[in-house]
Chain A
């Protein structure tokens, strides 16, 4: 009995220590990435290639999801607002929820599952097939050549994707609210224009998506770099990337929101 409890405690302790270790190592990895970022900017075509593979290739899923999320917002928002006779504020509701929250957060979650998992799997396999080792033996630093360009590519893509997500969402809300249901078009746009503040709403949304892009990519890169070089190891790392980075995005969203919208 006592042995059983001791074993459970020991396992919990080991897990906790292990998690803290990994957090520390990931942080160190993040700073190394920043330190070795020089070549990414001197040879910007490396970053552009990564913007293509993580940003451009995520476009379809981001645009389609944005459209549907906006359409649902239009429907649900109209239902609620008309109870109070305020259906003309639909544009405000749709745009603020997208620009402040849904745009950055949902785009980052989609990004984690589309691009984050791909990054982990790619780096994990590069390690398994000794390509990372080969880089080291060719006197090319893998952090500078492989990791840093991917990091910056994602950090640059993420706010653009979030902005496109929000734009598509607003268009979806417009389709449902104005075209389908018949909310007044002038009110829809002019109220939106009056209520959305550039600094308060748009800029804060952009800051969020830059942070989310960084968080997701560091987790994806670290998991790939740290994965045991086996099929099972890479598959586990890929799963962990999606789970950890999704949770991290939501947690960071709470932290950032509580700083940005105090007392609003």
Chain B
């Protein structure tokens, strides 16, 4: 058994003729929290969809637990996905079900457990995210942070080996931010799973992750432990970590000269 649960090799992906990822290599070791960082639109979410098998690589390979995700048949892909959890950016809870039903969903779909056991498991998962008391609420009654915690409880319902988080920190208040980061670390350690966090929140994620990959324009530009990243003198990483407005990533979207567009100077 390989040490790496997720291995991405020379991965390229294009939507129609727009190249999103080119030659990406990365790996997530079992039991680690690995972050994939980069500015918005750099291909992070695409990368996650490739790992989950929702997209197929144009070139290269994605291996999860030794299986090449892009080459699996639908049936085998579904078998593999039962051991993966995914936390969507806004939770993606089923809005017509209560919190309890949401967490019980996969248990009911994939197992024939008796109702009492489903109940015990659901309450355990909800307790792990601190929302046992919210079991009868509907998703519309939850705050953004709570919805994400419920989604997390749902993602761990079948005790997966891998959880992928899509922007888990986006749009949270400072308290929820701390709670979420803490939960990701704690669940990874206590449940012995592997976590892949796609985020652009540097400060929060550097606190909890074991290893970081930086992606810019579809290429891995830097990688290392949080300590190495903080000390990095690569200009892109420096701009990102310290949140500087201008640097290798320009503030302005490509545009014709300002004066020219305002008609102040004729070309």
Contacts and interface: CB of A to CB of B under 8 A. Distances in A.
Interface in A78-109: none
B153 to A, nearest CB: 13
A66 to B, nearest CB: 29
B46 interface: no
A131 interface: yes
B143 interface: no
B109 A140 contact: yes
B106 A137 contact: no
B197 interface: no
A131 B81 contact: no
Contacts of B106: 138, 140
Contacts of A137: 52, 54, 81, 84-86
Instruction: Report the interface size class on chain A.
Output: 10 to 19
A134 B91 CA distance: 9
B191 interface: no
B92 A129 contact: yes
A141 B106 CA distance: 12
B92 A133 contact: yes
A136 interface: yes
A255 interface: no
Contacts of B84: 137
A130 B81 contact: no
A131 B78 CA distance: 17
Contacts of B110: 139-140
A138 B109 CA distance: 9
A137 B160 CA distance: 12
B95 A129 contact: yes
Interface string B53-85: 010000000000000000000000011011011
Given A138-B109, A139-B82, A131 B54 contact: no
A150 to B, nearest CB: 12
B101 to A, nearest CB: 12
A126 B92 CA distance: 8
A35 B228 CA distance: 53
B84 to A, nearest CB: 7
Contact of B79 (A134, A136, A139, A141): A139
A137 B87 CA distance: 10
Contacts of B90: 129-130
Contacts of A129: 90, 92, 95
B94 interface: yes
Given A129-B95, A131-B95, A136 B88 contact: no
B4 interface: no
B81 A139 contact: yes
Nearest to A122: B96
Given A138-B105, A140-B109, A133 B79 contact: no
B92 A134 contact: yes
A130 B79 contact: no
Interface in B199-227: none
Nearest to B82: A139
A137 B53 CA distance: 9
Contacts of B78: 139, 141
A145 B97 CA distance: 14
A134 B64 CA distance: 19
A134 B105 CA distance: 11
A129 B102 CA distance: 15
B89 interface: yes
A138 B89 CA distance: 15
Given A137-B54, A140-B106, 4 more contacts: A126-B95, A131-B93, A137-B52, A138-B86
List the 10 shortest-distance A-B pairs measured between CB atoms, nearest first: A130-B92, A139-B78, A134-B92, A139-B81, A137-B86, A130-B88, A139-B82, A140-B109, A131-B92, A138-B106
11 contacts: A129-B90, A129-B95, A130-B89, A131-B93, A133-B54, A133-B88, A134-B86, A136-B81, A138-B81, A139-B78, A140-B106
